[in-house]
Amino acid sequence: MHFLLSDYHLSRRDEFRLFAEQEIDTGDRFPRENLKKAAERGYLGLPLPEEWGGQGEDFLTYILLIEEVSKVCAATGAIIAVHTSVGSFPLLYFGTEEQKKRYLPALARGDMLGAFALTEQGSGSDAAALASTATACDGGYQINGSKMFITSGGEADLYTMFVTIDKKLGYKGITAFLVEGGSPGLGAGKPEKKMGLNRAKTSELTMEDLFVPTSNRLGEEGKGFKIALSLLDGGRIGIGAQGLGLARASIEYTTGMLREEERAGRKIEQGVSFALADLAAKLEAARLLVYRAALIKDSGQKCSKEASMAKYFATDLAMEAASRCIDLTGYSGAGSDNPLSRYFCDAKAPQIYEGANQIQRIVVARELLQD
């Protein structure tokens, strides 16, 4: 097995790293300017085919982008990941030719921002329990209900939305639709006040007699659950890359601080150096899991187990690294103006979204037992 990135991937990684460090800001508002800069470089369509306006890059290259951007601003990394993996890929994989022509080039250019509307109050990890409904009407469907915790809610231009045509059918009634932002009947609540990642707006969506034409149904009726499940592996690898970036940020910041301590003549205690070494080893392990999952996806093979392992290991490490690094730097690390406190707060959400890490362990165990 070859564990080194190719020269091409190394050059793209360095390109993304330079972009993130020099162009990405870490302010408080929705990072519209960050997204604009990324779009200008083709990064919002990085893995989309060239025929649809994308860059045609492999999935590993896209993962390197998410890692580097997330290291500087995890919120921007999350928005780009959602836009790409669950905001654009559904259309690429399941859209009609007409739907692709209408939306994919705009998504690839960054003229439109994509989002994913699945989660509801009573259907988080159990997606099949969603209650929002689509009722057939003349020329299309009327959608009623609500969604919650939608990344880029109220900011996105195109939502891949999942509702049921008949609650009695369970997951067999779930159907996917392409819903344009600003459509009559579509509302967005105030952004949720989260402990971190607040630049990535997370809002409730409400649908009141929202009309969606039949031409905007994605796939056949009742095939929405299959569509949603097909996107999970790629999305989870992307969140794993976000965890990598956050873990790296904490470890590299703390290493720099300790290095300065040594230069100033203050000896680093052995317990501190051991803790740092353990985090560095876990970071390498997480990197191998995430990159390997991306490579397996690129090969076209099933990667559910590997994607879940990468997601939960890397995001758990992001939280562990931030917490441990605050311990290692003392009171200063917990200060509100210290980046470690931001990394700590940002690291919690990735453990939960795209399938909570407890769910990831269920997926891994199920795959092992089936084998």
Per the residue annotation, which of 57, 67, 221, 354 is the catalytic one?
354
CA neighbours closer than 13 Å in the CB half-sphere of residue 72: 19
- To the query of whether residue 21 is one of the catalytic residues in this protein, the response is no
Residue 113 near residue 155 (C-beta atoms within 8 A): yes
Name the residues annotated as catalytic.
354
